[in-house]
Amino acid sequence: MKTFAHSASTGNGMPEVAGFFDPRTFSVQYIVSDPVTQACAIIDPVLDFDEKSGATATHHADELLAYVAKNGLRVEWILDTHPHADHFSAAHYLKQKTGAPTAIGQRVTQVQALWKEIYHWPDMPTDGRQWDTLFAEGDTFAIGELKGRVMLSPGHTLASITYVIGDAAFIHDTLFQPDFGTARADFPGGSAEALWDSIQAILALPDTTRLFTGHDYMPNGREPAWESRVAQQRENNPHLTSKHQADYVALRNKRDEELPMPKLMLHALQVNTRGGRLPEPEANGKRYLKIPLDVLGGAKWD
């Protein structure tokens, strides 16, 4: 199975992109680098977790660090696109290893407030202090000589954002590959209407913009893939044949009603709303996850 792919720079001011696929969670992590200065950013890194044994590990994050070292790169940012529901974030671990600042969209505070109630965490700070930077719509940043900007992309979650770096856009859970469709919008705080608007903003980027998704579910048994172009999405994505928001919302909501909740959702959000930090050890030195019962709909019993 293909678990790595390199997308070369397309010209001056355009990034090199290395994608790393995690078959356990169907997630893609990225290293975005400036070929001139060797500066780079890590986007949506995965901290390994096995829900059957409760074991955590840093295999995938260490693979990213090995790639950085092998290619003489310098990590300047650790970026999350949103608080993930299907894997743990390795942002905090990688900050400890590299010293690079972490960032996410500023609306993460709304997600924190929502999940603070679900987990009954009265003392949890909900001001986003778990990250070094909270990005707003239109904010800009640099990776060496590369220029990046932030687009708000809510719908999948309240806090979802897109990073546009040169001709590459990291769109995570908005669009998937052109042969698969779009992301679900039925999580707490999700909205199919908002997701439609976010997708339209992404499709308004230049046709040749490289789009990098956060997951791939390998329809019809094909190899994992995570790069496409705006024009490909517009022409081939089966969920984008709708020309009006109302039609898309009806399609999206019907599809979401058939989907079970992600198996790691209640595990992951208590880590990812805290910037990738695992729960603090208790008096016996062990860490424990807290799973609220009967708070989410969507149980599938067959």
Taking only the tens place, the pLDDT of each residue in 132-170 is 999 999 999 999 999 999 999 999 999 999 999 999 999
What does the block give as tokens for 265?
Answer: 């959702």
d(CA 34, CA 152): 24
C-alpha to C-alpha distance for 88 and 47, rounded to whole angstroms:
5
* Residue 297 clears pLDDT 90, i.e. is over it: no
Domain borders along the chain are 4-272
Q: How far separated are the first and last CA of the chain, in Å rounded?
A: 30
298 conformational bin, left if phi > 0, alpha if psi -120 to 50, beta if neither: left
Average of per-residue pLDDT across 42-71: 98
- Res 149: pLDDT: 98
Q: Would you state the pLDDT for residue 10?
A: 97
pLDDT for 241: 81
Rounded to 5 degrees, what angle do the CA atoms 28, 33, 34 make? 155
Mean pLDDT score, 22-29? 97
Q: How far apart are CA 58 and CA 53, in angstroms?
A: 15
Which residues partner with 140 through β-bridges? 149
pLDDT over 90 (residue 294):
yes
Give residue 299's pLDDT band: very low, low, confident or very high (50, 70, 90): confident
* CB-CB contact of 29 with 19 (8 Å): yes
* pLDDT at site 298: 72
The pLDDT assigned to 121 comes to 96
Which DSSP helix (H) or strand (E) runs through 118?
helix 108-119
Closest CA to 174 of 159, 188, 154: 154
4-272: what CATH class?
alpha beta
Task: Give me the pLDDT at residue 301, please.
Answer: 79
Q: Which two tokens stand for residue 241?
A: 């044949």
Write down the pLDDT at residue 296: 86
Span 268-279, average pLDDT: 97
Q: Would you call 227 helix, strand, or coil by DSSP?
A: strand
Q: In what order do the strands lie in the sheet with 168-172?
A: 140-143, 146-152, 161-165, 168-172, 210-213, 227-229
CA distance 197 to 261: 23
